[in-house]
């Protein structure tokens, strides 16, 4: 999908800087700083307002932020990711809008899923992963589980990844296909 307004410089520059900073921090410190998220949300809102005006730009920004939230918040509630990852996809949504945020989430899910699966296989934790998935599905079907913690999983934690890296990679893929 080609989104012509990505060629306007503040959008690709702003989102690229945001996701690279977030990914590097997540890789080194295993967290995405709230200051980075807040600054990125403010900058993306300012860029959207400047580029598209108050009504259109504001709605474009809000739709993207809400899309990012809606896509990852359920995973956070299940204990599958940290809040910083949810906030980072909201930030990406502020820069790129709802449609592109869906694309970013798809690529990030594929990249993050592949990365996590490779980690599970390398650590020889496939059986534990299967037990955990079965338990989570059963819990969801019976509505017995809210925000969980890893110690309740029957197979224990099979490992975590710094998911901001997957979000950054997904963002860069979407940007590379969006700029003419």
Identify whether residues 107 and 24 lie together within a single domain: yes
* Domain count along the chain: 2
| pLDDT (0 to 100) of residue 78 | 76
Write out the residue range of the structural domain in which residue 129 sits: 124-158
How far is the C-alpha of 83 from the C-alpha of 72, rounded, in Å? 9
pLDDT of residue 159: 76
Regarding predicted confidence, which is higher, 166 or 143? 166
pLDDT band at 128 (very low <50, low <70, confident <90, very high): confident
Q: Is residue 98 domain-shared with residue 147, that is, in the same domain?
A: no
Average pLDDT over residues 166-172: 98
Closest by CA to 69, choosing from 34, 77, 133, is: 77
* DSSP E strand stretches across 15-173: none
Q: Let me know whether 104 and 140 are in one domain.
A: no
User: What pLDDT does residue 2 have?
Assistant: 42
Q: What is the pLDDT of residue 143?
A: 63
For residues 24 and 58, membership in a common domain is answered with yes
- What pLDDT shows up at residue 7? 52
The answer on pLDDT for 164 being more than 80 is yes
Q: Do both 9 and 84 map to the same domain?
A: yes
1 touches 103 (CB < 8 A) = yes
């Amino acid at each position: 999908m080609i989104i012509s307004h990505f060629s306007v410089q503040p959008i690709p520059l702003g989102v690229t800087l945001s996701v690279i900073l977030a990914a590097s921090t997540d890789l080194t410190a295993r967290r995405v700083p709230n200051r980075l998220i807040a600054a990125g949300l403010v900058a993306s809102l300012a860029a959207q307002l400047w580029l598209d005006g108050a009504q259109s730009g504001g709605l474009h920004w809000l739709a993207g932020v809400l899309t990012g939230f809606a896509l990852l918040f359920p995973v956070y509630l299940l204990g599958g990711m940290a809040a910083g990852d949810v906030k980072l996809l909201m930030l990406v949504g502020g820069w790129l809008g709802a449609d592109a945020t869906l694309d970013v989430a798809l690529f990030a899910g594929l990249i993050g899923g592949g990365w996590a699966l490779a980690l599970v296989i390398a650590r020889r934790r496939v059986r534990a992963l299967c037990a955990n998935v079965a338990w989570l599905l059963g819990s969801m079907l019976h509505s017995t589980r809210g925000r969980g913690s890893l110690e309740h999983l029957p197979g224990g934690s099979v490992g975590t990844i710094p998911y901001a890296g997957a979000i950054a990679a997904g963002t860069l893929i979407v940007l590379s296909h969006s700029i003419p």
